[in-house]
């Protein structure tokens, strides 16, 4: 084979011509707009277009009509888009690169919830791939590189899939870790192959997950000929090689945008950063409703209340929550998923599976006072959180749990709020001391969290007058800048002062409401789990500050 001839996918004019060829001799209605079909078939091959016309003819024959109507063409277009044969063509896997093409069910923006602002930004890319000439006439250059930054599970991969589905573009996904090799030059070669592959099936979207694995900041001591440096340099070269009319879009995903090399994020490369945050209440509700569409959900389910409890939870975990509830429903022979199954699924996922070995009577009483202490102080001193439920059902390594979700996805925290939060965390241990004279060893995680909050107040947030409005954090989040012994002692003293203040606050509530504490414990021993409404019924109206 001494000559290679490259055959590219047809452009809009080519697709229009192909459709016209295959429409010859077929009774196409004058109302049918083949030009419109050509515009919306970006990424289709000539075989796909031939199949589209043939499918429309079959639909017409089945309906016993003599003319192919616009609706027949629309239905045929949807069928060809999702046809298994076409999906197989887009499900190739190149082991030398470690990349995979989109396969399976087509994903679109309708499959994305809670990310309206990001979807709006990416719609621009869809429009560019569908009608490139509109942008070229204005002299505009659509960014060829998009960086998706955010915590795990927030929808970075889903968004890239959806954009490919919306644009009818080939989707090539690769983890950046697969570029790292022992032998120098292998990673750079894989980057070249990846981009060559994308150009061959353009329009295409390249999705590079864990971009920080190869795109981290280069240190002064890093040799230019090191494997990672060569791989990164090759990626920069490929990004620079895109012209204004290129129909290959590169999307990178990272949990740590702060450690990326600045050369990656300059204009012309990954010059558009889209930050995905953990969903707020409204977004969580939308995500739950989205993933509930294909499940038998009880009409009495309150997704708003579930969304309120799931503060700080990513979209992937919400999807898993509904799946776990569906598994529980099937296991129990239920015909639909109700609120109780969702609550049980929450406990199983975020706390653990219920233990079979029961606690002794004495231990159960200690756990009941511990959890009741948390709940009572939390409803009195909310600290930006609200009580959802109290449970003494042992799960995993946890003997009981008090659910205290963030109230209204609070973003700002005053010293008062943080001290109240520490008081609620300390209240379990202090309730044990109040009733039994000493506390058991079940408060280790509470104490660790209290220590983190108090120390952060002093060293990060400037909330100590004695230490001053200074931030002692170094470039590494877990380390402090060098400080003197005197400053270290002062930081320790102020940290202890904040903890002591929270302790006194919690003790005061527990002493004042000892009879209420006892009533909550009695109900817990009888029912094992109490909802907020049940606690309010026992303890009386909640303090106004909680509202």
Nearest to 421 by CA among 406, 408, 437: 406
Q: Which DSSP helix (H) or strand (E) runs through 249?
A: strand 248-254
Answer for the pair 119, 166: CB distance below 8 angstroms, yes or no: no
Give the Cβ contact number of residue 232 at 10 Å: 24
Can you tell me the distance from the alpha carbon of 18 to that of 31, in angstroms, rounded to the nearest whole number?
Answer: 19
Written in H, E and C, the secondary structure of 408-443 is: HHCCCCCHHHHHHHHHHHHHHHHHHHHHHCCCCCCC
> How far are the Cα atoms of 47, 61, 76, 79, 102 from residue 68, in angstroms, in the given order?
19, 9, 11, 16, 31
Note if 371 is an active site residue.
Answer: yes
* Cis peptide leading into residue 203 (ω within 30°): yes
Can you tell me the distance from the alpha carbon of 230 to that of 222, in angstroms, rounded to the nearest whole number?
Answer: 11
Nearest to 167 by CA among 38, 43, 270, 279: 43
Residue 211: exposure state from Cβ atoms within 10 A (0-12, 13-18, ≥19): buried
Q: What is the DSSP letter of 482?
A: P
Q: Which of 55, 227, 238, 371 is catalytic?
A: 371
For 300, half-sphere exposure in the C-beta direction (CA atoms, 13 angstrom radius) is 6
Active site residues: 371
């Amino acid at each position: 084979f001494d000559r290679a001839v490259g055959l590219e996918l047809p452009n809009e004019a080519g697709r229009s011509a192909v459709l016209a060829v295959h429409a010859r001799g077929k009774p196409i209605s004058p109302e049918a707009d083949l030009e419109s079909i050509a515009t919306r078939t970006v990424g289709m091959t000539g075989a796909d277009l031939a199949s589209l016309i043939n499918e429309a003819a079959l639909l017409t024959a089945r309906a016993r009509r003599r003319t192919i109507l616009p609706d027949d063409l629309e239905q045929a277009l949807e069928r060809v888009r999702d046809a298994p044969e076409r999906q197989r063509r887009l499900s190739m896997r190149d082991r030398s690169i470690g990349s995979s093409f989109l396969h399976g069910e087509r994903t679109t923006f309708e499959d994305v919830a809670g990310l309206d602002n990001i979807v709006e930004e990416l719609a621009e890319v869809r429009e560019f791939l569908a009608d490139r000439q509109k942008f070229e006439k204005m002299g505009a250059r659509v960014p060829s590189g998009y960086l998706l930054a955010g915590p795990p599970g927030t929808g970075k991969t889903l968004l890239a899939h959806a954009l490919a589905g919306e644009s009818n573009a080939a989707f090539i996904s690769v983890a950046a870790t697969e570029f790292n090799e022992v032998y120098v030059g292998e990673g750079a070669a894989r980057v070249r192959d990846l981009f060559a592959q994308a150009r061959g099936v353009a329009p295409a979207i390249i999705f590079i997950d864990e971009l920080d694995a190869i795109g981290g900041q280069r240190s002064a001591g890093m040799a230019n000929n090191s494997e990672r440096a060569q791989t990164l340099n090759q990626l920069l070269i490929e990004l620079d090689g895109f012209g204004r009319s290129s129909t290959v879009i590169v999307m990178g995903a990272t949990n740590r945008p702060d450690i990326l090399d600045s050369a990656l994020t300059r204009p012309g490369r990954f010059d558009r950063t889209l930050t995905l945050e953990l969903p707020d209440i409204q977004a969580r509700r939308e995500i739950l409703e989205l993933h509930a569409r294909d499940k038998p959900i009880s009409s009495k389910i309150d997704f708003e209340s579930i969304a309120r409890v799931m503060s700080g939870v990513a979209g992937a975990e919400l999807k898993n929550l509904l799946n776990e509830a569906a598994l529980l429903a099937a296991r129990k022979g239920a015909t639909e998923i109700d609120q109780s199954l969702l609550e049980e699924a929450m406990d199983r996922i975020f706390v653990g599976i219920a233990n079979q070995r029961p606690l002794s009577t004495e231990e159960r009483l200690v756990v009941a006072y511990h959890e009741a202490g948390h709940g009572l102080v939390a409803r009195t001193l909310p600290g930006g959180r609200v009580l959802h439920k109290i449970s003494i059902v042992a799960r995993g390594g946890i003997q009981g749990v008090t659910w205290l979700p963030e109230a209204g996805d609070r973003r700002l925290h005053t010293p008062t709020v943080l001290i109240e939060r520490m008081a609620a965390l300390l209240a379990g241990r202090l309730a044990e001391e109040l009733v039994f004279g000493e506390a058991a060893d079940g408060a280790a995680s509470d104490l660790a969290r209290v220590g983190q909050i108090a120390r952060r107040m002093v060293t990060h947030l400037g909330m100590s007058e004695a230490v001053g409005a200074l931030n002692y954090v170094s470039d590494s989040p877990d380390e402090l800048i060098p400080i003197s012994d005197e400053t270290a002692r002062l930081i320790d003293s102020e940290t202890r002062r904040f903890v002591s203040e929270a302790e006194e606050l919690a003790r005061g509530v527990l002493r004042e409401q000892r009879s209420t504490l006892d009533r909550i414990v009695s109900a817990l021993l009888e029912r094992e789990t109490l909802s907020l409404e049940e606690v309010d019924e026992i303890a009386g109206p909640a303090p106004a500050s909680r509202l």
